[in-house]
């Protein structure tokens, strides 16, 4: 599942606690059926540290993609892009150019510690020389923000008093007339480069994230103590430049041809994403301390949101953070600190990726295949903004109109009572299953009722206008925008979402097995229908913005 900005991530104090672990040994051969054991075996491989977090545009993501392709070949599943299991996705890495500088008071700031920039997709910076900084207010309190007309033509510095509950891009859009937006935060938590699929060549505005120390230098003191509109120092941007180079990125695609020659030309698509977040650039954290902190933080947010239903979860307030106490010593009496800097993405979306391999294996080895064909797509670049699924649906390897439905799995390995109030061993969030086709939604329910242990569907996140916008936040939407009916299966967000602690020992494999089996059985049912699932709702504009 993707988040469109991680700009304002706030990192943790430490505390004591104890993490539960379910260890399973990897390396055993998999069996034809979808089993908890096989899911575990596969997930320990796919989310291993050797994949370096599988980040879009990096070698680690290629290794993950290669593992999937090797498994498809071993299982005798047909390649999904002509003779290849891979669909190369155009991707470009944008980095700061050697020698690029931001100058304050005649001296260059240090990239990575004093500041980082955004990385324009084009790799080209809009020309700017010296700019006077003006304090633009507290981004976490919109009543303090500078009016757009006063920001025009200037560099505005924004501070953040309390962690943001929402992506600030919507707020920042009003400052399109500013020459630069400078946000005070910790530059070390930002990625020092970006990978994009865009072929746009327009020079773009360069924005900065600067350290709190640099922010104080820019306006001559703690910005939060200043009045909005306070003028500050001049900074020089003139030598900022970027490099843009090709980066490796691949969707993985396999096909199981249908059993009925008259329907074989139609496809049921299944999807997951093969990428995750890579490395933590600010350096390692102690895994067990971070996990213990996340457990405590989760309890606080859960208590708060259930005391006042309908309020957003989001990050902790400063007071809430202060209420979590540090006792690293007693934690480390259990075992020594384990430094961790790899976002393994076991649930996100290792769970969907290996769940789909198990589904493919079950179809390939059981002899029970549907009349229609099955196309399995492991998308890349989901975390970078649904890039691989956008590319596949714009450039499908089978005719787009032949895809009758898409079933997407992203984060299907959690959802227990330990993760959130209302979770449990059969909990499943279902999103989008009736947004284009009432029939598809009905089929998912009917198939679920026929399972030995039916799952308990939570449709809350499918509500129109839901603030989490889950319908817009995973690969299925790229199919839905073309009018392909979709169903999105997820066990939901949790305390380890986009954390270093999203690791395979915290996955509930039996829960995950039930979800994968359900998706297998829905694919079989949809693939065997004597008609295409009926689209009875309006189709969105494929080039428009997603509406939850």
Binding site for Zn ion (CB under 5 A): 1, 348, 383
Q: Which is nearer to Zn ion, 197 or 346 (CB)?
A: 346
Q: Cα dist. 51→241, 350, 445 in Å?
A: 31, 11, 36
**What secondary structure letter does DSSP report for 49?**
G
Q: Which is nearer to Zn ion, 138 or 347 (CB)?
A: 347
Residue 213 is encoded by which pair of tokens?
């120390």
Helix (H) or strand (E) holding 155: strand 155-159
In the complex, minimum distance from the CB of residue 342 to Zn ion, in angstroms, rounded to a whole number: 15
Measured distance CA(437)–CA(270) in Å, rounded = 17
Phi, psi of 425 (to 5 degrees): -65, -15
Residue 209 is encoded by which pair of tokens?
């994230």
Q: Cα dist. 303→53, 290, 300, 321 in Å?
A: 31, 20, 5, 14
Q: Is the dihedral of CA 293, 295, 298, 300 positive or negative?
A: negative
In the complex, minimum distance from the CB of residue 228 to Zn ion, in angstroms, rounded to a whole number: 35
Closest CA to 322 of 353, 351, 297: 297
Q: What angle do CA 216, 138, 130 make, to 5 degrees?
A: 50
Q: Which is nearer to Zn ion, 214 or 384 (CB)?
A: 384
Ramachandran class of 47: left when φ > 0, alpha when ψ lies in -120 to 50, beta otherwise: alpha
In the complex, minimum distance from the CB of residue 189 to Zn ion, in angstroms, rounded to a whole number: 16
In the complex, minimum distance from the CB of residue 379 to Zn ion, in angstroms, rounded to a whole number: 12
Q: Which is nearer to Zn ion, 1 or 375 (CB)?
A: 1
- Helix axis angle, 36-46 to 509-528, nearest 10°: 100
CA 239 to chain CA centroid, Å, is 33
Q: Which is nearer to Zn ion, 242 or 392 (CB)?
A: 392
Measured distance CA(425)–CA(176) in Å, rounded = 47
In the complex, minimum distance from the CB of residue 210 to Zn ion, in angstroms, rounded to a whole number: 27
In the complex, minimum distance from the CB of residue 57 to Zn ion, in angstroms, rounded to a whole number: 16
Q: Which is nearer to Zn ion, 321 or 390 (CB)?
A: 390
Q: Which is nearer to Zn ion, 320 or 468 (CB)?
A: 468
CB atoms within 10 A of CB 306: 12
Q: Is the distance from CB of 37 to CB of 24 less than 8 angstroms? A: yes
Q: Which is nearer to Zn ion, 348 or 458 (CB)?
A: 348
In the complex, minimum distance from the CB of residue 236 to Zn ion, in angstroms, rounded to a whole number: 37
Q: Which is nearer to Zn ion, 1 or 151 (CB)?
A: 1
- Helix axis angle, 36-46 to 59-74, nearest 10°: 140
Q: Which is nearer to Zn ion, 244 or 494 (CB)?
A: 494
In the complex, minimum distance from the CB of residue 293 to Zn ion, in angstroms, rounded to a whole number: 20
Measured distance CA(407)–CA(487) in Å, rounded = 5
Q: Which is nearer to Zn ion, 96 or 386 (CB)?
A: 386
In the complex, minimum distance from the CB of residue 27 to Zn ion, in angstroms, rounded to a whole number: 27
In the complex, minimum distance from the CB of residue 321 to Zn ion, in angstroms, rounded to a whole number: 23
Q: Which is nearer to Zn ion, 384 or 486 (CB)?
A: 384
CB atoms within 10 A of CB 96: 19
In the complex, minimum distance from the CB of residue 410 to Zn ion, in angstroms, rounded to a whole number: 7
Q: Is the distance from CB of 243 to CB of 97 less than 8 angstroms? A: yes
Closest CA to 345 of 46, 42, 30: 46
Q: Is the distance from CB of 488 to CB of 468 less than 8 angstroms? A: no
Per-residue three-class SS string for 294-317: HHHHHHHHHHHHHHCCCCCCCCCC
Residue 244 is encoded by which pair of tokens?
């843009």
In the complex, minimum distance from the CB of residue 22 to Zn ion, in angstroms, rounded to a whole number: 22
In the complex, minimum distance from the CB of residue 2 to Zn ion, in angstroms, rounded to a whole number: 5
Residue 490 is encoded by which pair of tokens?
């997820």
Measured distance CA(8)–CA(103) in Å, rounded = 24
Q: What angle do CA 447, 451, 455 make, to 5 degrees?
A: 85
Q: Is the distance from CB of 37 to CB of 347 less than 8 angstroms? A: no
Kindly give the pairing relationship between strand 403-409 and strand 486-490: parallel
Q: Which is nearer to Zn ion, 237 or 497 (CB)?
A: 497
């Amino acid at each position: 599942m993707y988040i469109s900005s991680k700009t304002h991530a706030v990192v943790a104090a430490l505390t004591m606690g104890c993490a539960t672990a379910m260890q399973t040994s990897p390396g055993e051969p998999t069996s034809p059926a979808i089993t908890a054991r096989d899911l575990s075996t596969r997930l320990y491989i796919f989310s291993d540290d050797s994949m370096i977090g599988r980040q879009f545009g990096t070698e680690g993501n290629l290794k993950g993609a290669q593992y999937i392709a090797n498994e498809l070949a071993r299982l005798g599943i047909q390649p999904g892009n002509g003779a290849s299991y891979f669909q190369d996705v155009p991707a470009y890495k944008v980095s700061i150019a050697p020698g690029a500088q931001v100058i304050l008071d005649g001296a260059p700031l240090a990239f990575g510690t004093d500041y980082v920039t955004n990385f324009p997709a084009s790799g080209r910076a809009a020309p700017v020389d010296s700019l006077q900084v003006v304090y633009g207010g507290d981004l976490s309190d919109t009543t303090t923000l500078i009016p757009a007309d006063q920001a025009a033509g200037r560099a505005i510095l924004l501070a953040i008093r309390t962690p943001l509950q929402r992506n600030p891009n919507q707020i920042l859009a009003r400052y399109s007339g500013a020459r630069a937006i400078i946000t005070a935060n910790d530059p070390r938590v930002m990625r020092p480069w970006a990978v994009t699929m865009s072929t746009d060549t327009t020079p773009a505005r360069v924005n900065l994230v600067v350290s709190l120390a640099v922010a104080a230098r820019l306006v001559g003191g703690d910005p939060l103590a200043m009045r909005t509109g306070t003028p500050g120092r001049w900074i020089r941007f003139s030598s900022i430049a970027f490099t843009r180079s090709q980066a490796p990125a691949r969707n993985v695609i396999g096909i199981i041809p249908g059993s009925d020659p008259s329907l074989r030309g139609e496809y049921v698509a299944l999807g997951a994403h093969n990428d995750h977040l890579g490395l933590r650039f600010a350096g390692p954290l102690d895994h067990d301390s971070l996990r213990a902190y996340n457990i405590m933080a989760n309890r606080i947010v859960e208590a708060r949101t259930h005391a006042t239903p309908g309020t957003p979860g989001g990050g902790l307030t400063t007071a809430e953070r202060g209420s979590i106490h540090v006792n690293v010593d007693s934690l480390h009496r259990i075992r020594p600190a384990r430094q961790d800097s790899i976002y393994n993405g076991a649930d996100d979306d290792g769970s969907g990726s290996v769940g789909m391999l198990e589904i493919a294996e079950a179809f390939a080895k059981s002899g029970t295949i549907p009349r229609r064909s099955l196309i399995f797509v492991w998308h890349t670049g989901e975390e970078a903004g649904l890039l691989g699924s956008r590319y596949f649906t714009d450039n499908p390897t089978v005719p787009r109109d032949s895809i009758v439905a898409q079933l997407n799995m992203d984060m299907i390995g959690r959802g227990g009572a330990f993760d959130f109030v209302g979770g449990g061993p059969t909990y499943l969030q279902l999103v989008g299953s009736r947004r284009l086709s009432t029939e598809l939604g009905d089929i998912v329910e009917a198939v679920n009722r026929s399972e030995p242990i039916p799952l308990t569907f939570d449709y809350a996140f499918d509500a129109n206008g839901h603030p989490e916008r889950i319908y817009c936040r995973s690969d299925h939407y790229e199919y839905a925008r073309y009018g392909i009916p979709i169903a999105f299966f997820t066990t939901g967000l949790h305390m380890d979402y986009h954390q270093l602690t999203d690791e395979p020992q915290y996955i509930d494999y039996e829960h995950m097995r039930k979800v994968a089996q359900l998706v297998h059985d829905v694919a079989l049912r949809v693939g065997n229908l004597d008609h295409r699932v009926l689209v009875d709702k309006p189709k969105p504009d494929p080039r428009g913005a997603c509406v939850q």
